[in-house]
Structure 1
Amino acid sequence: MKEDEQKKILLNYIYLSRQHAGGKDQVAINLLEGICKNKDMGACVVLCYDYAKAYLEQIAPGVTVITVKPPKKESELVRLLDIERVNTWIVPKVIRKYNIGVVFHASCTNGLRKLKVPTVMIPHDIKAVSHRVMGSVKVAWYKYLLYKVMYAVDFKHADKIIAISKADRSEIQNYYARYKDKIVQIYNPIKVHVNDVIPPTPKKGDIVAINLQFHHKNIITLIKAFEMIADCIDRNLVLVGNVPKRVAYLKEYVEQHNLSGRVIFTGFVDGKKKRELLVNSCLYINPSLFEGFGMTAVEAMILKVPTLLSRVSANYEVTKGLCHYYEPADDVEALATAILAFFKEPENGEALEDKSKEMLKMYDYQKIAAQYMELFRECL
C-alpha cells in the first residue's frame, strides 16, 4: 500500500497556547520534534489553531498542518468550550477527509462523543481532582466538579490513556479505577537545545527557580526560605517566568519585605534565555507542592546544574533519587536548611556529568517519540 493510501495518525495540537504555557506545551513540541527526527512525520498530520501553524512547520518541516480558527476571546472557560467544540464536531470531519486511523489528543478536554477511530490521550496529571487542596489553596467546587466529569468523559472515550510517571499512573488508577486497563505509562520526551546555550561563566552565580504561574508551584515558600538565609549567602534568587494576577502576592511579599535587591523577577523569557539562566546558575530549586513529572528539573540536570527539589509526587521518581531533596514541601525552615547544606557541600563536575548522562539516556526525545509511535501503530 502506498504511503498516501495508508491510515494517518492525527496529532491533535489545538491545546497549544498562544504563549508557551509550560510543560504541557513543551511535551507536545518535544514529541513532534522526536517524530520528525525519527522520520515518522509522513505517517502523521497535525491539527492546531491557526496561530500555531508557522511554529509547528518550523519544528517539523514538511508536516501537513490542518488549522482551525481560535475563539475571539481568550478566557479559560471560552477556550475550554471551543476545544470541546472542535473535538466534538470538527475532528470527525478531519478523520474522514484525511483518512485518519488514530487520534492523539495532546491534552484533556477531548470532546463529548467517542470517535469512530481509536484515540490516545494524555491528561498530564489529574491534580484538580487528586489534589484539590494544596497548601492554603483549594480548587473551587465548580472547577473541581468540572474537571472530575471532564476526566471521566475523556477516559471513557479514550482507547489508551498516557500516564507520564508511575506516580501519575497510580493516581489515575486510584480515582478512575474502571479505566485502569487503558493506562500506558510513558515518560515525557525531553530535548535540551544545548548548542544554543552560552557557555557558563567561570564562576556560577545565582539560585534559579522557574515556573511561577500557579499556587502549587509554591514559590512563596522559596522566597521566605531565601529571606531567612539571605545574609548567609552571597547569591541572589532569580525567579523566571510570568507572574499573573493569581500569584501577584509573590511580588507584593518581596516589596513589603525589602527583598527587591536580592529577589529578581525576570518576567517571560524564551527557551534559549531560560537555558542560559540555568547554565549560569549555582542551584536550581523546585519547591512545588505537586508534580506529575517535573520537566524543568530534568532539563537542569541535563545542563549539569545542581538541583534541589521538594520530595513530592513524581519528583523523586523522575529524577531517580539523584538530586538534593527536602520535605515537607511547604516547610520554610526545611528548605532554608537544605539550601545552606548545599552550599556547605557543593557538587563536583564529575557527579553532575554522570547525572546529565543518566537523564539524557532516560528521557531522550527520540526514544520516547518511538514509544509513542509504536503505541499509535498498535492502535491502528
Structure 2
Amino acid sequence: MNIGFDAKRIFHNQTGLGNYSRDTVRILSDFHQEHSYFLFNPRSHKTNRFFHDRSNITEVNPQHPFYKKFPSLWRSSAIVNTLKANQIQLYHGLTNELPLGIHKSGIKTVVSIHDLIFIRFPELYPVVDRNIYRFKFKYACKIADKIIAISKQTKADIIEYFGVAADKVAVIYQGCHPTFQKPLPPEELARIKQQYQLPEKYVLNVGTIEQRKNLLSLAKAIQPLENINLVIVGKKTKYADIVFEYVRKHQMTNRVFHLENVNLQDLAGLYQNASIFCYPSIFEGFGIPIIEALFSNVPVITSTGSCFSEAGGPNSIYVDPSDVREIREAIQSIWDDPEKAAHLAENGWQFAQRFRDDAIATNLMAVYDQLMVQTTN
C-alpha cells in the first residue's frame, strides 16, 4: 500500500506535533515494512535529517515553480494532484488538517485530531487563529473517512463540538520517542547532571512555558520549600516573564533552573535524574511529557480532569492545578518518602508499557486496513 502523510511538521516543527508526526511514521516504517510511506513536505530542507536512510520512505516536494514559491497553497489543495501522481491509496493528515477537495479524489483519508483547546479556552488564542483552526479542524473531521483522536477526552470533544458520529472516531494513544524508553548508563547520567550544573535532587517540569501549562502555580508551590529545587525545560513565551519575575521576587533563582533547546539524549537524562515530575497543566489533548516521565521511572504529579489520568494511570498523583497548597503537599509527600516514590515509579513504568511502539503500530494499521478493505468491497 502507498500511504501518504502531511509532513510539514515532520520537517519544520521540533516539538509536540512534530514529535507525534515523526514517531507515527517511524513506528509504521519499523513494524510494517511491507508498505511504502510518502512524506509530502511543502518546503524542502537543504539537509534532510529525517528518515533519509529508510528505503520504504520517500520525501515529496512541490515541483512546479509557482508552488515552490507558495508552498502553503500546494499543501492546502494542489497536493491532491501530487498524491494521485504518486498513486497514494491512503492519506493521513497527522496534525488536524486535510487538503481541500481530497474527498473527491478516491483516496482514503485519516486525520489525527490532537485537541480542541482553542474552543474550550478561546481566551488563550487570537480571534483570527481561532476562526482558522475551527474551519480547518471541522472541515477535516467532516470529510475524513476516519478520525484518530489521541485521547478519550479529545474524542468526546470532537463529538460534542463538531457533531461527529462516535463510530467515526478511533482513540489511538501516542507513545514517545524510544530514547526515553531506554535507561542511560550511570556515567551518562552523571555527565548530564554536571554539564547542566544541576542539583542532586530536583522536581522536573517539561513543556512550552505558556499560560495553559500553569508553571506559575508550580513555582508558588515550591516557594516555601527551601530544600526543593525545580528544573524547567521548555521554550519561553510572554507568560514565562511572569513566572521568572515571581522567581526573582521571591529569591528563588538559586534553586530554579531553566533549560532550553536540550537534545533528546540529554532530555532523557534530565528525566531519569529527576526525583519527581510535576505537570500541573490546565488542559491537554494527551500529555506526552507524562509518558516520557513514566518510561523514565519517575513518580508523576499531574492534574485532575481532562485526559491526564489516561496518560498517567492509577499510580500517578492527581491535584487540582489551581490549588497551590495541594500541589505543594503532593510534592512533599513524595520528596520525603523514598518508598512511596519507588512504588509510584515502578507501577507507573508498568502502566507506560501500553504506549509501546508495537501496540501503536498495530492500532494504526488496523485503521488503515479497515478503510482499504471497505475500498475493495
What letter matches 1:212 in structure 2? T
**Cα gap change, 1:276/1:52 in structure 2, threshold over 3 Å: closer, same or farther?**
farther
**Which residue is 1:75 aligned to?**
none
Distance 1:314 1:59 in 2: 36
1:109 to 89, 97, 100: 97
1:144 pairs with 2:130: yes
Correspondence for 1:254: 247
| 1:11 correspondence with 2:5 | yes
Which amino acid in the other structure matches residue 277 of structure 1? Answer: L
Aligned to 1:74: none
C-alpha contact (below 8 Å) 1:33/1:59 kept by paired residues = no
Structure 2 counterpart of 1:176 = 162
| 1:25-49 Cα shifts (integer Å, max 9, x gaps) | 2222222221122143633222223
CA change 1:85–1:197 in 2 (3 A) is: same
In the TM superposition, what is the alpha-carbon distance from 1:258 to its structure 2 partner?
A: 2.1
Between stretches 237-246 and 304-313, larger displacement belongs to 237-246
Q: Does residue 87 of the first structure (1) align with residue 76 of the second (2)?
A: yes
How far apart, in 2, do the equivalents of 1:298 and 1:188 lie?
9
Say which SS state the counterpart of residue 318 (structure 2) adopts.
strand
Count residues with an aligned counterpart: 352
1:220 equivalent in alignment to 2:206: no
Please, which moves more after superposition, 219-228 or 278-287? 219-228
Deviation at 1:157, TM superposition (A): 1.9
RMSD of aligned Cα (Å): 2.5
C-alpha contact 1:311 1:326 (8 A) present in aligned 2: yes
Does the CA contact (< 8 Å) of 2:294 and 2:300 recur in 1?
yes
Q: In the alignment, is residue 99 of structure 1 matched against residue 87 of structure 2?
A: yes
Find the partner of 1:325 among 314, 318, 326: 318
For the residues of structure 2 that align with 1:85 and 1:218, how far apart are their CA atoms?
37
For 1:127 and 1:82, the matched residues in 2 are separated by 27
Partners in 2 of 1:68 and 1:330 — Cα distance?
47
Residue 61 and residue 258 in structure 1: after superposition, are their counterparts in 2 closer, same or farther (change >3 A)?
A: farther
Separation in structure 1 between the aligned mates of residue 172 and residue 71 of structure 2, nearest angstrom? 28
- The letter of the residue matching 1:105 is G
After superposition, what is the alpha-carbon deviation per residue over 1:143-167, rounded to whole angstroms, capped at 9, x for unaligned?
Answer: 3333222221121221111111111
Tell me how far apart the structure 1 counterparts of residues 53 and 237 of structure 2 sit (CA, whole Å).
28
Return the offset for 1:368: 0.6
Residues 41 and 338 from structure 1, CA distance in 2 versus in 1: closer, same or farther, beyond 3 angstroms?
Answer: same
Change (3 A) 1:9 1:52: farther
* 1:314-341 residue CA offsets vs partner (Å, 9 max, x unmatched): 10122222201111x1222221122112
> Aligned in 2, Cα 1:82/1:320: closer, same or farther, shift over 3 Å?
same
Deviates more, 1:245-254 or 1:316-325: 245-254
How is 1:192-231 mapped onto 2 (pairs within 5 angstroms)? 192-193=178-179, 194-195=181-182, 197-199=184-186, 200=189, 205-229=201-225, 231=226
TM-score between the two structures when normalised by the length of structure 1:
0.84
Give, as a single letter, the amino acid of the residue that structure 2 aligns with 1:147.
Y
Q: 1:372 to 1:215 in 2, by over 3 A?
A: same
Alignment-derived partner of residue 44 in structure 1: 37
Q: Distance in 2 between matches of 1:147 and 1:262?
A: 39
- Shift of residue 254 of structure 1? 1.9
Q: Quick one: higher RCO (CA 8 Å, sep 6+), 1 or 2?
A: 1
The answer on whether the counterparts of 1:126 and 1:172 sit within 8 Å (CA) in structure 2 is yes
Give % identity.
Answer: 20
1:16–1:84 distance in 2 versus 1, CA, 3 Å: farther
Q: Distance in 2 between matches of 1:132 and 1:359?
A: 32
The DSSP-based 3-state class of the residue aligned with 2:175 is coil
1:67 to 52, 61, 86: 61
- Deviation at 1:226? 1.3
* 2:141 alignment counterpart: 155
CA distance in 1, matches of 2:356, 2:222: 34
C-alpha spacing 1:62/1:173, structure 2 compared with 1 (3 Å): closer
Displacement of 1:274: 0.8
The alignment status of 1:274 with 2:274, answered yes or no, reads no
| Aligned CA distance change for structure 1 residues 52 and 198 (closer, same or farther; 3 Å) | farther
1:373 and 2:369 are equivalent in the alignment: no
Code of the residue aligned with 1:12 in structure 2: it is D
Structure 2 residue aligned with 1:336: 328
Question: Aligned residue for 1:312?
Answer: 305
Tell me which residue corresponds to 1:4. none
